Chain A
């Protein structure tokens, strides 16, 4: 059976364009959650978000669509890193929650049609391969990576570009505001004073390839998914759905829990999500490995989150470091002590577990191996 390896990475985030800008900021503990600028006119209780810097957004806007502009820039970086020539046969899996809503809000031609965004991306990048678009709420990115892995294992493609993207819009900000899910201050996942999430935006891209050997690359070694079947917006309180997804990913990677050296968390900062994640990890690990999340730095980037945070998990394996849980001062008393505070050396850095959960009770988990 062929291995699925990561050969290219790209990112556009609140830290600017490029993977280097992202990972350098993350591992030194910076946060990009600031008072909203582009969407400053919206009347909401929460006035902070992790917006892409204006100089990067301005370039993206030249394409008449922030989402497209972000995705294109991240994709080009990943393709260049993977040394993919223009016109190569390459599949594309796009992950997004809302695609481009510019047309709905009177500022563009986007009408929330992910497949149109995917087709435009494939056309612009001259990709001659299968294309699809996944929309599984906040788990979209991990579901897309797993789907690309299946394509590669099934021989549908030999290389696949996976892109996750979402741009902040009035629709999304007002939606989370109405759900009372936003934190008025920059979010503080897993802290006992957490009150909600901070939204972010951006794009992440990974090039996956089917190879006989890892060839020094990080491998996407396993994936699993499940559904809580519990509530349409709230997570299952006992963490059983996410635990099931993790069990499936570990089984797919043929690993025992003790082989995991780092868990990169979903960690939204909402009261129930963070507690659910801790319950799920308790079900899997007798002694959890270092636990770290990045939404206190990037905000919740929705459809981009799975890609961007996978990129951070991969970087963590390569650096042998767990990224910090920024603004985690006092964890809940019953949360695992393995939640790291600052950037922490990993005793061993061979396998990282990336987890996510989303609206509709969707749970997903990936295992990366180095």
Chain B
């Protein structure tokens, strides 16, 4: 299938990030949030919304928040714990008493909305539900929104895997990835001058398309990234030919939101918080790319630069 291949150049500064679950192991402790959320400040939501809130808090730690801050999230399945609870009460146990909160928490946007509620974020609040590229769609939306608004955004993706869904995956429900949980949130955008920032990175390019578009995304580039972190099915070289023309660090996705955790790892390496040796580099890079591909042939690419680059 031919697709439109158009580079979307951008300048989206990222000031902070945090990750949770599988794929977050390479981050320093202060950037990692437990999948078992604790603390009174996170009460009132389902499991994923509470994790997302703590991730967002951690991502924006130390930054002054403004009233117009937006929340843009991706998720493949949303709050499955609450959805399973509602369905279980309604159908499987033939009970007429499913809990109303389980229903209201079962909507895909419950995660982003809980973050907005807890952090008083009155900007745009959007949720994209696009399988393993949900984070890519959310990040793209935030970049487009930022171009006009100049506001700050929490951008993230999160997925969980409770018991019933785990069994369904084992039975081969199409369109999902490996059986783990996790995700990440980054805080970025804004209109302040970032030239004097001493920490943080910026997103300079984002691409969304098909796997066959990937070589074109790298071809002709006079400034190749030093490494591509790839989350997707193994052995993409056959599809990509001689591109991307730089080392590729492959790792199959741990969960549907793996692209978010890979991005957090890339940011951590660019910032010098995590060791470059985690991805096979000997020195701290200044330019990394994160590539996501799916078994269905979709692809997304983010190019990130350290502020000092």
Contacts and interface: CB of A to CB of B under 8 A. Distances in A.
Contacts of B134: 115
B239 interface: no
A130 B104 contact: no
B107 A227 contact: no
Interface string B114-151: 10110111111111111101100100010011011000
Given A170-B90, A229-B117, A157 B4 contact: yes
Interface in B77-125: 77-78, 83, 86-87, 90-91, 96, 98-100, 103-110, 112-114, 116-117, 119-125
Interface in A327-370: 358-362
B63 interface: no
B288 interface: no
Interface residues of A, number: 58
B29 interface: no
A359 B128 CA distance: 15
Nearest to A143: B126
A258 interface: no
Interface stretch (A174-182, A208-216, A314-322): A174-182
B241 interface: no
Contacts of B252: none
B4 A179 contact: no
Contact of B91 (A105, A113, A135, A231): A105
Interface stretch (B167-175, B185-193, B242-250, B257-265): B167-175
B122 A227 contact: yes
A241 B103 contact: no
Contacts of A150: 141, 144-145
Nearest to B80: A112
Nearest to B120: A229
A133 interface: yes
Interface string A105-133: 11000011111101100000000111011
Interface string B1-32: 11110101000000000000000000000000
A97 B122 contact: no
B103 A227 contact: no
Given A113-B175, A135-B129, A230 B117 contact: yes
A361 B108 contact: no
A171 B126 contact: no
A156 interface: yes
A281 to B, nearest CB: 18
B113 A227 contact: yes
Nearest to A155: B6
Contacts of A232: 44-45, 104-105, 110, 113-114, 117
Nearest to B2: A128
A287 interface: no
A133 to B, nearest CB: 5
Contacts of A244: 122
Contact of B131 (A116, A174, A226, A230): A116
A111 B123 CA distance: 31
B109 A135 contact: yes
B155 interface: no
Contact of A114 (B6, B91, B98, B129): B129
B285 interface: no
A323 to B, nearest CB: 28
B184 interface: no
Interface string A152-187: 001111000000000000110011101110000000
Contacts of B117: 227, 229-232, 360-361
A178 to B, nearest CB: 4
Contacts of A118: 130
B296 interface: yes
A89 B3 CA distance: 7
Task: List the 6 closest pairs (A to B, CB-CB), nearest first.
Answer: A360-B113, A175-B103, A135-B108, A227-B125, A178-B100, A114-B129
12 contacts: A111-B173, A116-B175, A135-B108, A136-B126, A174-B98, A225-B124, A226-B124, A226-B125, A227-B71, A227-B113, A229-B116, A232-B110
Interface of A: 43, 89, 91, 97, 99, 104-106, 111-116, 118-119, 128-130, 132-137, 143, 147, 150-151, 154-157, 170-171, 174-176, 178-180, 225-233, 241, 244, 252, 358-362
Interface of B: 1-4, 6, 8, 44-45, 70-71, 76-78, 83, 86-87, 90-91, 96, 98-100, 103-110, 112-114, 116-117, 119-131, 133-134, 137, 141, 144-145, 147-148, 168, 173-175, 208-209, 296
Given A231-B117, A252-B148, 17 more contacts: A89-B4, A113-B76, A115-B133, A130-B4, A130-B209, A133-B129, A135-B128, A136-B127, A154-B147, A171-B87, A229-B117, A232-B117, A233-B104, A359-B113, A360-B110, A360-B116, A360-B125
